[in-house]
Amino acid sequence: MRLATLSDRAVLLTDTGAVDIADASAGRFGPDPMDVLADWTAFRAWAGSAVLPAASPYRTADLGAPVPRPRQVFAVALNYRPHAAEAGYVPPEIPLLFTKFPSCITGPNARVELPKGRVDWELEMVAVIGAPCHRVPASEGWEAVAGLTVGQDLSERVLQLTGTPPQFSLGKSYPGFGPTGPALVTPDELPDRDDIAIECLLNGESVQAARTSEMIFSVPRLVEFISGVCPLYPGDLIFTGTPAGVGNRRVPQRFLGPDDVLVSRIDGLGEMRQTFR
């Protein structure tokens, strides 16, 4: 199942177009995507057996963030060994968490305003929480996940790395710094939910490419670690970390400018395209 936000309404995407969930369910679910997620278990049961009306064609440009207003956004630093190495750190022994404040979340085609400083890319797979949960063991971690989507943890490196110790979260939370989408894809759609190819292209050149099986802490282990402290709510996002190839560790360094086109692609989840101004 592929769930998306089209002109601010929750839709199911099919091979031929989009089905409005509120219309198809006679008002039982939606139209607010957050309401669909808040009733996730019942929605999945309905969507699994409902006879859907014909899908309508839609414009990709009208897609918004599949989870437009998450209560909590968790993000994981240094979750791929080659990225930890390029950043000059030993791999962490426990997940290293920060937040992207939720006001930065935007959709898959957002044009992002560049603040002063040095803005860098970080392609990441994002896990979306389904039912409310707390203290979930890793063995049940996937059951807490409604679906997966593509994310960019855009980062302004000067603010992120200033200070001793530095504060990660603000430099990663400018408006538009959390593009997500194009859809929330349920893990059963994927051949192997633990091993997914991810790739980031800058102006057509591949700058990051990895597989999620290379993550130091897998999705279920992240759910266990985070939910061991914080109760999780429907629609909460977990940015699972970026692989090697970010701009501030390249030689020479490379940061985003107004002429750049950033494409973020994850097998089975789809593709986002960011431009800048």
The residues of the shown chain that bind Zn ion, judged by CB under 5 A, are 122, 153, 242
Q: At its nearest, how many Å lie between Zn ion and the CB of residue 152?
A: 9
- By beta-carbon proximity to Zn ion, the closer residue of 20 and 122 is 122
Q: At its nearest, how many Å lie between Zn ion and the CB of residue 155?
A: 7
Q: At its nearest, how many Å lie between Zn ion and the CB of residue 240?
A: 9
- By beta-carbon proximity to Zn ion, the closer residue of 153 and 224 is 153
CA distance 155 to 47: 37
Q: Is 226 exposed, middle or buried (0-12, 13-18, 19+ CB in 10 A)?
A: buried
- By beta-carbon proximity to Zn ion, the closer residue of 173 and 242 is 242
- By beta-carbon proximity to Zn ion, the closer residue of 28 and 221 is 221
**What is the tally of helices (H) and strands (E) in the chain?**
7, 18
Contact between 73 and 144 under an 8 Å Cβ cutoff? The reply is no
- By beta-carbon proximity to Zn ion, the closer residue of 186 and 208 is 208
- The residue with tokens 């969507």 is 47
Q: At its nearest, how many Å lie between Zn ion and the CB of residue 128?
A: 16
18-20 and 9-13 strand pairing: antiparallel
Cα Rg of the chain, angstroms: 18
- By beta-carbon proximity to Zn ion, the closer residue of 122 and 156 is 122
- The residue with tokens 């669909």 is 36
Q: At its nearest, how many Å lie between Zn ion and the CB of residue 124?
A: 6
Which of helix, strand or coil describes residue 228? coil
In the bound complex, which residue of the shown chain has the CB atom lying closest to Zn ion?
153
Residue 248, phi then psi, degrees to nearest 5: -75, -5
End-to-end CA distance of the chain: 34
HSE of 177 in the Cβ direction (CA atoms, 13 Å)? 26
Q: At its nearest, how many Å lie between Zn ion and the CB of residue 79?
A: 8
